[in-house]
Amino acid sequence: MISKGHSNLSIVRQSKLLQLHRSGFYYKPKGESELNLKLMRLMDEHYIYHPFKGAKGMHTWLTMDKGYKVNQKRIDRLYYRVMGLQAIMPGKHTSKRHKAHKIYPYLLRNLKIDRPNQVWATDITYIPMQKGFMYLIAIIDLHSRYVLNWSVSNTMDAQWCKETLEEAIALHGTPEIINTDQGSQFTSEVFTKCVLLNKIKLSMDGKGRAIDNVFIERFWRSVKYESIYLNPPESGIDLYQQLKTYFSYYNTKRRHQGIENEIPLVKYLNKQQKAA
């Protein structure tokens, strides 16, 4: 599909012509042992409905309810370091934030969100695949639930998050506020500088508060149960194409109860047109 040695077209140009994000070409699924992949898939599904459980709670569930003979150290590594999860309840190891990074206040409490590009939210989630796993970042408009931009990678780094945000801004303009969690990618100077230089207010979920990120958590649940779990992708390109199809459906056809059964793209564009 894409050739590294093409004499006239760069990989970037080839990717654009094929409507394929470079991540779909460059990144390959990360590998773990078969057991670890099975444990991560189980934890991923369980976490969606039990986000209050930390690694200790997951270890108890896996050993006592599911019958796996694994130690706590293994689950700690998979839960925190590999999957990047954190329990919504305050406590030891519940946040992946960098201690030296500045934490910004949560700005959405009691805020009436009544127009597009007022508040965007972004987050990263673990994506299980047939062999290995990758990560997905998405940016959504909270008023309309419209998916503004997304990208896949096999690493969770700040530059990747920054570039995804920059692409969203280039496509849709700047929001008034962007909300994130306290993960090190979002508290990093690379990401926060990009936000502030674009004159966007940066809001961060309060540590251990489930209600602060409820919209993005529901969104991940939809992505996984309506697409990924039904058809685990084989490769980065396969994952990209599957997500591209799903997000097109999500944005243009899927009605959402949270927005009075409207379609995200329609709600996003209607409000913009009225404002203009």
Mean residue pLDDT across the chain = 85
Query: Looking at residues 53-71, what average pLDDT do you find?
Result: 96
Q: Is the pLDDT confidence value at 25 over 70?
A: no
Let me know: does 87 contact 60? Beta carbons within 8 Å: no
Let me know: does 133 contact 37? Beta carbons within 8 Å: yes
Alpha carbons 156 and 190: distance in angstroms, whole number: 13
Alpha carbons 163 and 171: distance in angstroms, whole number: 12
Is the backbone of residue 91 left (phi > 0), alpha (psi -120 to 50) or beta? Answer: left
**Which pLDDT score, from 0 to 100, does residue 97 have?**
52
DSSP 79: I
**Which pLDDT score, from 0 to 100, does residue 116 have?**
97
The predicted-structure confidence for 129-154, as pLDDT tens digits, reads as follows 998 999 999 999 999 999 999 999 98
pTM for the complete prediction? 0.82
**Which pLDDT score, from 0 to 100, does residue 18 have?**
41
Domain boundaries, the chain: 34-82, 119-275
Judged by average pLDDT, the poorest of 95-109, 122-136, 171-185 is 95-109
**Fold that domain 119-275 belongs to in CATH:** Nucleotidyltransferase; domain 5 (3.30.420)
Helices (H) and strands (E) in the chain, counts: 11, 5
Q: Is the pLDDT confidence value at 27 over 80?
A: no
Is the backbone of residue 145 left (phi > 0), alpha (psi -120 to 50) or beta? Answer: left
**Which pLDDT score, from 0 to 100, does residue 85 have?**
86
Name the residue type at position 43: M
Closest CA to 228 of 255, 253, 247, 256: 247
The predicted-structure confidence for 153-177, as pLDDT tens digits, reads as follows 988 899 999 999 999 999 999 999 9
A 10 A CB-CB count for 244 gives 15
**Which pLDDT score, from 0 to 100, does residue 272 have?**
59
CA-based max dimension of the chain? 60
Alpha carbons 226 and 253: distance in angstroms, whole number: 14
Q: Is the pLDDT confidence value at 118 over 60?
A: yes
